[in-house]
Structure 1
Amino acid sequence: MFDLDRWREIFQSINKNRLRSVMSGFTVAFAILLFTLLFGIVSGLSNSFKGAFADDAQNAMFVRVWKTSKPYKGLQTGRTVQLKNKDYDYISEEYGDKIQYKSSRIYKNFTIKYKSEASNYSVMAVNPDHQYLEKTIIDKGRYLNERDLKEKSKVIVIGRLLKKDLFGERPALRKRVNVNGSSYLVIGIFSDEGGDNEERKAFIPLTTAQMMYGNNDYISQIALGYDPNLSLDAAVAFGNRMERDLRKKMDIHPDDQSALSVRNMAEANKGIGQFMGVLYAIVILIGSGTLVAGIIGISNIMIFVIKERTKEFGIRKALGAKPASIVGMVVQESVLITTLAGYLGLTLGTYILSLIGDTLEEDYFIKDPSVSPGIVIGATIVLVLSGLIAAYVPAKKAANIKPIEALRAD
């Protein structure tokens, strides 16, 4: 039941003892402020790591080859290793049950022209699954499909900024562009979270590129998406096994990373997860220390406050106040100060993070530092409960002494 007189007394007590109230609140606010800043910065680091891989699916794997750096089985160093369609087919057949998406890649740099506008762009020849591996977002039209591959169609999907460069505000769908001297039909416009460079790319069917630019079955790279139901450890083991099998199949030394490597996002995610786990553990340790310091500060202040108000409690009891009434008033005052100070610390911490967010991203690669309200609210509740206990124990003791003893207290 709301007791207006009780709250008037509480606010009168706070107003009368401003320094004590400010000191109590400062202890709580400072603890929550530090807690918010620490977790916000760690959260920003986590966002930076995630942003670094925003352009690719989290379950992606990439098989790439180059030149051998070690002799093996009588084959010389410096031998050029070339991926071919048969290698792509081998992976599909051998590991199909562990693969969600798959695509070959061929990298080209071509001049793309539309009327008087022309410039050099990165053009990638791919399979339809590449849309999901590259996290390509189709804004208009469609992506490449199996029919485009089968018919070796001269169609192209262009990035949002590439479209803007060549077409401006004019529509681009169903228009034809000149790609390295050949006419291609624009069938889709895409956007990409990877940034401006990604949105100035274009995609064409893999089979079209093989037919027109070399008349061969060569591919530059193989991109895969492993089964997302695999654990990180299982995905890492799968990648290692596939790499060993490919080395054996292509007569490459087991330790020759230059000739063949498999970049597995599972390894990166596992490493990042372990690093962030250690970082969060450190922050929790430091944050807990900050909260403990805040709890000790509240406890010490409340013990001093109760001792200072012992005579007041004696007078109240002499006038007929019950111990429960005295204890309740002190506890309510403590909880009120702690709650308001905790909210102030949370608000100030959030404001500081938003204020320095851009600077942290530019100078320290800490992206969008923020903190989950649930974490800080939980920390505030801990401090509020601590303030309640810190007020209750000495108040209960003081309220139970006899009025005459309370009046004699120094």
Structure 2
Amino acid sequence: MRQLFDRDTWIEIFQSINKNKLRTFLTMVGVFIGIYIYIGLSGASKGLDNGFEKEFETVARNSMFIWAQSTSKPYAGFKTGRQIQLKLQDAEVLRRQVPEIVALAPRNVRGVFGSSPGVITRGLKSGNYSVFGDFPEFTKIATKRIYDGGRFINDDDIAQERKVAVIGERTQDELFDEDEDPIGGYIEIDNVNFQVVGVHKFAGGGPFDNDSDIFIPFTTYRKIYNTGDNVAWFTVAAADDADVVAVEQAIKANLRRIHKADPTDEKAIGSFNLGEVFKKIFGFANGLTFLSLIVGIATILAGVIGIGNILLISVKERTKELGVRRALGATPSEVRNQILIESLFLTMLAGVIGIIAGALTLKGIDVMTQNVEIPYSNPTVPVAYVIGSLLLMVMLGVLIGLIPAQRAVSIKPIDALREE
């Protein structure tokens, strides 16, 4: 340990490196590239994880959207092309038949799927916006961030068919004055007065929502638009440990049975399984991390072996010098430690430079993607991964250094002094 802090040790190391600058540099490049690839790919996979978590941070991971379509096969006396209509009572059947469902919200809308948007007016201001008929349970699947002082639709709104509305940020900007509090104010939705009870911060709540959406109670919606028990689609969240694909198939199978569609008619019921998408994305990210680990270790190992070869050559070239040291009283352990410290120094130097370069690259990628609308954010590598890579380099540097170190120790002083 004392030899590590000895000035003469480091003078000798730098003299050795200085004699073989190009060869040493090219050998260190292998370790540098290995750790650089590892940091880069690991950070890239983490950025992908972070991006999708941020993009869908308000939506349940195991969520899906189910809607009805036209049949593509004749069944039970019905012809091909029959349009299926989901009903409110379907929700109760699904809750009973598919126990993995933890939340299910029937939804209706104007302004999506080609339907006419709701005409919203307030005084002399007006606009066309999507109007959703929702249940409070929807927030268990897609959380709505409500500004202070407001709220989302509650059970009393549903039971009493209240004319209350939750508006979006853009709706507030376009219908209310800048210094005006919209909470408690009134807007007209298709000539019906509604009191504003909340303003939601848009953060993504599914593939159909945006920052101008207006939410009203489902029961009020069906009364105003005369939709009865019709439902446009179901938003569903499955249990965390559930197989989201199996849950999706079970829901669709039950809906085909309820609405008398052929059990094999995959086109009768449409769906978008966000849980499956999440699973694939995070599986890809984990695979990328694993790939970075394999490629990084292989490249680092190749680089470290190269450093070992350089040290073997160095030992051969320094045979006479080592013999003189042994003749002057240097112990075998001192000679061995000299070579091991040199091996460890070259390995760690290349590794640290690779880590710094990788971190700077990830920072540059983060800056470039901040204003780009892609699900990518804050590509970083966990500290544990960096520490683990450093420990790996220490271990490899010591192990590979043992070979030239043992070669140096095996040199007999009398033979070394004869070396020309």
Contact 1:32–1:380 (CA<8 Å) still a contact in 2?
Answer: no
Aligned to 1:383: 393
Contact 1:135–1:192 (CA<8 Å) still a contact in 2?
Answer: no
1:404 matches 2:407:
no
CA deviations 1:69-104 (Å, max 9, x no partner) are 322111122222111121122223433x43222211
TM-score of the two chains, using structure 1 as the length reference: 0.88
2:140 corresponds, among 132, 135, 142, to 132
Contact 1:32–1:376 (CA<8 Å) still a contact in 2?
Answer: no
Shift of 1:185: 1.6
Give the alignment of 1:94-105 within 5 angstroms. 94-95=97-98, 97-105=99-107
Distance across 1 between alignment mates of 2:154 and 2:83 = 32
Aligned amino acid, residue 375 of structure 1: Y
Aligned amino acid, residue 30 of structure 1: I
Q: In the superposition, relative to structure 1, how do residues 193 and 86 fare at CA in structure 2: closer, same or farther (>3 Å)?
A: same
1:74 corresponds, among 77, 81, 85, to 77
Contact 2:46–2:380 (CA<8 Å) still a contact in 1?
Answer: yes
Query: Which segment is superposed worse, 18-27 or 327-336?
Result: 18-27
Q: In the superposition, relative to structure 1, how do residues 25 and 164 fare at CA in structure 2: closer, same or farther (>3 Å)?
A: farther
Distance across 1 between alignment mates of 2:12 and 2:37 = 30
Give the alignment of 1:321-332 within 5 angstroms. 321-332=330-341
Aligned to 2:219: 207
Aligned to 2:113: none
Shift of 1:209: 0.2
Q: In the superposition, relative to structure 1, how do residues 5 and 60 fare at CA in structure 2: closer, same or farther (>3 Å)?
A: closer
SS of the aligned residue for 2:130 comes to strand
Shift of 1:346: 0.8
Query: Which segment is superposed worse, 277-286 or 61-70?
Result: 277-286
CA deviations 1:243-292 (Å, max 9, x no partner) are 21221111112233332134333433444455445544544443333223
Aligned amino acid, residue 294 of structure 1: G
Question: Any stretches of 5+ residues in structure 2 without a counterpart?
Answer: 111-116
Aligned to 1:267: 276
Aligned amino acid, residue 74 of structure 2: P
SS of the aligned residue for 1:343 comes to helix
Aligned amino acid, residue 241 of structure 1: A
Query: Which segment is superposed worse, 325-334 or 201-210?
Result: 325-334
Give the alignment of 1:5-404 within 5 angstroms. 6-11=6-11, 13-14=13-14, 17-18=17-18, 19=21, 21-47=24-50, 50=53, 53-54=56-57, 56-95=59-98, 97-108=99-110, 109-140=117-148, 141-167=150-176, 168-194=178-204, 198-214=210-226, 216-228=228-240, 230-232=241-243, 235-276=244-285, 278-357=287-366, 367-368=376-377, 369-404=379-414
Distance across 2 between alignment mates of 1:170 and 1:317 = 88
Shift of 1:105: 0.3
CA deviations 1:339-396 (Å, max 9, x no partner) are 2321211111121122134556889957234333433432332222212122222213
Question: Any stretches of 5+ residues in structure 1 without a counterpart?
Answer: none
Aligned amino acid, residue 35 of structure 2: I
Shift of 1:2: 5.0
Distance across 1 between alignment mates of 2:417 and 2:30 = 30
Distance across 1 between alignment mates of 2:271 and 2:338 = 67
Distance across 1 between alignment mates of 2:100 and 2:375 = 35
SS of the aligned residue for 1:57 comes to coil
Contact 1:142–1:187 (CA<8 Å) still a contact in 2?
Answer: yes
Contact 1:291–1:379 (CA<8 Å) still a contact in 2?
Answer: no
Distance across 1 between alignment mates of 2:192 and 2:398 = 77
CA deviations 1:287-311 (Å, max 9, x no partner) are 3332232222222222222222332
Contact 2:69–2:269 (CA<8 Å) still a contact in 1?
Answer: yes
Shift of 1:58: 0.8
Identity of matched residues, %: 30
SS of the aligned residue for 1:405 comes to helix
CA deviations 1:152-189 (Å, max 9, x no partner) are 11111122333233333532222222222222222122
Distance across 1 between alignment mates of 2:375 and 2:155 = 41
Aligned amino acid, residue 258 of structure 1: K
Q: In the superposition, relative to structure 1, how do residues 58 and 5 fare at CA in structure 2: closer, same or farther (>3 Å)?
A: closer
SS of the aligned residue for 2:246 comes to helix
SS of the aligned residue for 1:200 comes to coil
Contact 2:4–2:341 (CA<8 Å) still a contact in 1?
Answer: no
Tell me the C-alpha RMSD between the 2 structures.
2.9
Shift of 1:337: 2.8
Query: Which segment is superposed worse, 195-204 or 104-113?
Result: 195-204
Distance across 2 between alignment mates of 1:377 and 1:172 = 52
Distance across 1 between alignment mates of 2:93 and 2:9 = 81
